[in-house]
Structure formats: C-alpha cells, structure tokens
Structure 1
Amino acid sequence: MRRAVLLAACASAAVLSACGSSTIESALAPSRFVAFGDGLSDLGQAGSRYTVNDGTVNVWSQQVATSYGGTLVTQASGGTSYARGHARIVGTPDDVNGSTLTVAQQIDKFLASDKFGANDVVLLNGGLSDLLVSYNANSSNSASFAAAMTQAGTDLGTQVRRLVTAGAKYVVVSGLYDVSKSPWGVGTGQASMISNGVLKFNSALLLAINDLGANVLYIDAAYYYNLVIASPSSYSLSDSTNIACTSTDSGAGIGIGNGQVNSSL
C-alpha cells in the first residue's frame, strides 16, 4: 500500500499546479504544507509511523512536500502535520475504541490558532478507520455497511469544503484505496462487500466536492493501488499479495483485532 500511495503522491505533485487555476507561467511555489488525516498520513504524532520507521521519506504527505523542496513534520513537534493513526473523519470512538482526534477535530485545532496563507497546500485523507468501524458493526449487513461508507465519504467532502471556506486555496484530498484487495480484505471473505463500500465512499466524496475543482485536487488512490496489484514488477515489487511484515499486534493494533498481523492493510 505504501508504494501505491507514494506513486499517487508523485502524480499529485506533478499536477498540483493545476489546482487553483495556476499555469506553467505561474507555477505553484508552496509556502508551507499542512496535513490532516489518519495513519496513512501520520508522520509519527505518537513517536512512530504506521510504516517502516527508518528515517526515510516514506509517507505520501511528506513525499509531496519534499518534491517541492518543503518540509513537513508533526504538530506534536511544532509542525503542521496533524494526521493521527486511527483517526476517523467525524465519528468517535476511533477504530480501536480510543479517543484519537478525528479529522474534523484536527482541523478545529489548526483553525483555533492559525489560518491558511495564499500559497499553503493542504493534504488530506481519511476513511480507512471509518471503514474498519463500519465493517465491524455491519459485517453481515451489506446495505448498512454501504450506507455508512456513503455517509463517511460525504463527511470527508464536508471537511474539504470547510477547508476551502476557511481560505485554503490548494487542497489535495485522497480517496480510499480498495481495501478488499489487501490481505485483511481478502481474509474477511467479504471482498465484494468491502469493495462496494470503498466505491460508495469515493463516489460520495467526489459528489460532495464536485464544484470545488478550482481549489481541490482529488487523488484516485484506488486506481493507483490497483495498478500496483495488477503489475507489481512495474513498481519495483515482486509480490503484491503476501504479507511482508508478519509480526502480530498484542492489542487492537491497527484496528482489525487482537493478535492480527499489523501490516494486513
């Protein structure tokens, strides 16, 4: 998944100047980057990242910032990356029954003490923790799961609109990747239901931000993830199906349950 997200990050960096009606003559020169989201964007708010912790630039939000010669560090370290693992969009508790700040609350925290500048770039993702919570609550009810995912997509779109209303001129928002193709998704035996939920989420998100194209760039994470799954060798991978890191979580871990492999998503 990380390779797919970094691929998406590179693509977003390449076309970001189109956002906000920039042209080649007026190329975007970001003054800073601000990030909100869940574990896919968490740069280590609690000390470690939800990926390999080797000091490399391996989180998509940081990759985008670096590609523009910028920096991005956690809010806990005095920076502007507010993203936290397990964060839901607006719902509580989080996917491990904790009190992680939601994406909406992360934005609240930023706006309470700061404001967006004319050349700030906002990077945003969400939905994975909502999917896990919704699946655990509706694993035997596909209609309820689909409805919950539709609402979650709408909720993320509402936060995008809120950012633009608050003055953000350049917003990059990532949709959900198709979690049904992950080892966890395959292992549930409910891949079709999960895939439909992802589709509902992304469709609702796009519908909610349909009129914000002048300021918002959407990353089709599902598309990039599917590319990696279909042709791993094209992205310097030899295997796109088996779990690489097989250690298990003693607790709830990433939200899929006790004793589960922590890289299944």
Structure 2
Amino acid sequence: MSFKISARARLLRRSVVTAVAAAALASCGGGSQLVAFAPTRLIAFGDEASVIDDAGSVGASVGATVGNGVKYTVNALKADLTTLDCSLNPIWIQALSTYYGLVFSQCNPAAVATPTAFIRAAAQAQVADVVAQIDAQVAAGGFVATDLVTLLVGSNDILAEYKKYPGVPINQLQANVEAAGALLATQVNRIAALGGKVIISTSPDLGLTPYALAEKAANTDTDRAVLLTFLTARFNSKLRVGLINDGRTTGLLFTDELIQTMVKFPTNYGLSNVID
C-alpha cells in the first residue's frame, strides 16, 4: 500500500485528532447539553487518513482479511507478531466509533452482524473526490439527525498544487488551494443542511513533515517548507471562514494548530522524534 503522507505526519494527525475529538463532539449535540448526542451511524468522508482497507490492500506490510483491515499508519500486530490486529493503534474515526459503540465492517473482530459505521473515504482523495463521496451517500439515502459525519481531506490537494511549483506561480497555487478549502466548507454546510452532525478537521501543516524538510534541503529557489505551510494555511483559512459553525451541527478540529504545538513542544505530548 503506497502512502502519500510521511510516517510522522500520519502519526501526528492520528494523535491530534483523537485527542481533541471528544471535545468537539459537544458541538454536535446542539447548543444545549440537556440531551446528549447519541449517534446511530458514523459516516467517514475524506482521504487515506480515514481509510481502513480489508480488501485489495496490495503492498501492505501485513496481510489484511475481511473484517481485519490495514490503515495508512503503523499497523499493529497480535501477540504472535505476524497477524494483523486492526483494533490496535486506531485511527481517529475508530476512536470515535468506539466511543459510541459503533463498528466498521472493515475492522470488525467481534463479527458484529450489522455494522453501523461506514467509510466512504478513499486513499489519495482530494476535495473534489469528497464531493462525489457525499453525492453517493445522498443517492444511497442521505443523512439523518443521528448521523455523525467526519471529514478530513485537503493534504492531497495541497501537495498536488505544491508540486506544480515553480512552473505555476505561488499566487496561482494560493488561489487553487483557497478554492479547494472553500469548496470543502460548502460540502460541510451541505451535510449539516441535510441533517448530519459534522466533525470537520483542518488539514495538518504539511510544512512540518519530513517531506517538506527534504524538499527544503533539495531546493534553493525558495524555502519549500515555508511554502507548504503557507499553502496549508491558505486552504485552512478558506475552509474556516466558509463554515456555518453555529455550535449546533458542526464541530471544528484545529488539527493544524495542535500539530504545530506538538512539534514545538514534543515532550509535552510524549514524542521523541518530530523530524524523521
């Protein structure tokens, strides 16, 4: 399985969103907490950060089977050190599903007969792909008030634009990522208007990844790490300003800001290496 984002970026993204997801959930229950939000389904949209693959996982370091899938992160093993255990080292959507007692069919070690958590996210997806993912959900029955909907996407858009440099000037790259961020905001608002309760994450700061540091070392035309941070910030800015974030239907996770803090103060978060 090919990974588009560096190992450290995946680790930080998983750690950050898992740590703050519970705080954001309060927003999905409405302005009053007299009645706690109790979702009956979880529907995940986005890129590989929200993917569990229990079929067709070519190139994965460990074998996946139906109901025991691999993830785009460090895949844990059982005590025999050879057999995959998808329930360990959970990604953020697994942490949420477990909190509410919901199960994905792609990681279903207890063989729950009727899983109630669903993944429409796909590896290497960009924002335009998420529009199609949402369209497919609408065609399949749409959303109800007890749906918890997650979205984490944008890194692949930012990387795709960055790779056009220097052939495309920075101001055009900026406009392109801003358009993607604005489009994502409209899709969040769309889901909320259709009845779903949404948790949307900002994109992680790609300027802090090993990829960015390698690009910086390999190129002297401009600081490539700074450029990636800039493009990430512009994507996130347009996402944030476009959200109808009224505290009733949408919870916003500031993943970019928390990752920046984790890299600046790694020991506070139990991290020993934030470079490789």
Query: TM-score band, normalised by the shorter chain?
Result: 0.7 to 0.9
1:211 Cα shift?
4.9
Note the aligned Cα RMSD (angstroms): 2.2
1:234 Cα shift?
2.2
Aligned structure 1 segments of 4 or more residues deviating by more than 6 angstroms:
none
1:212 Cα shift?
4.7
Query: Among 56, 65, 73, which residue is 2:97 paired with?
Result: 65
2:5 aligned residue = none
- Residue 260 of structure 2 aligns to a residue whose secondary structure is helix
Seen in structure 2, the aligned counterparts of structure 1 residues 139 and 225 have a Cα distance that, compared at 3 Å, is farther
CA distance in 2, matches of 1:116, 1:166: 6
Query: Among 206, 209, 218, which residue is 1:182 paired with?
Result: 209
1:89 aligned residue = 127
Q: Report which stretch shifted further, 26-35 or 49-58.
A: 49-58
The aligned runs of 1:198-209 (5 Å cut-off) are 198-209=232-243
Structure 2 unmatched ranges of 5 or more: 1-8, 58-69, 77-85, 108-113, 217-223
Decide which structure has the larger Cα Rg and report it.
2
Query: Among 47, 51, 64, which residue is 1:42 paired with?
Result: 51
2:170 aligned residue = 142
Q: Report which stretch shifted further, 2-11 or 150-159.
A: 2-11
Query: Among 118, 134, 145, which residue is 1:107 paired with?
Result: 134
The aligned runs of 1:116-265 (5 Å cut-off) are 116-139=143-166, 141-168=169-196, 170-189=197-216, 190-242=224-276
- Residue 144 of structure 2 aligns to a residue whose secondary structure is coil
1:176 Cα shift?
0.7
Q: Which amino acid aligns with 1:71?
A: V
1:217 Cα shift?
0.9
1:80 Cα shift?
1.2
1:57 Cα shift?
4.3
- Residue 80 of structure 1 aligns to a residue whose secondary structure is strand
CA distance in 1, matches of 2:89, 2:120: 17
1:61 Cα shift?
1.2
Q: Which amino acid aligns with 1:28?
A: F
Contact 1:32 1:71 in 2 (8 A): no
Seen in structure 2, the aligned counterparts of structure 1 residues 49 and 147 have a Cα distance that, compared at 3 Å, is same
Q: Which amino acid aligns with 2:176?
A: A
- Residue 185 of structure 1 aligns to a residue whose secondary structure is helix
- Deviation readout 1:26-80 (Å, 9 max, x if unpaired): 11111111100001111226433211222214211111121222223459x9751
- Deviation readout 1:63-122 (Å, 9 max, x if unpaired): 1121222223459x97511111100111xxxxxxxxxxx111111111111222221100
The aligned runs of 1:8-23 (5 Å cut-off) are 8-23=17-32
1:257 aligned residue = none
For normalisation by structure 2, the TM-score amounts to: 0.76
Query: Among 20, 23, 34, which residue is 1:25 paired with?
Result: 34
CA distance in 2, matches of 1:231, 1:145: 31
CA distance in 1, matches of 2:46, 2:122: 6
CA distance in 2, matches of 1:219, 1:188: 28
CA distance in 1, matches of 2:231, 2:186: 19
For normalisation by structure 1, the TM-score amounts to: 0.79
- Deviation readout 1:13-37 (Å, 9 max, x if unpaired): 2331232425342111111111000
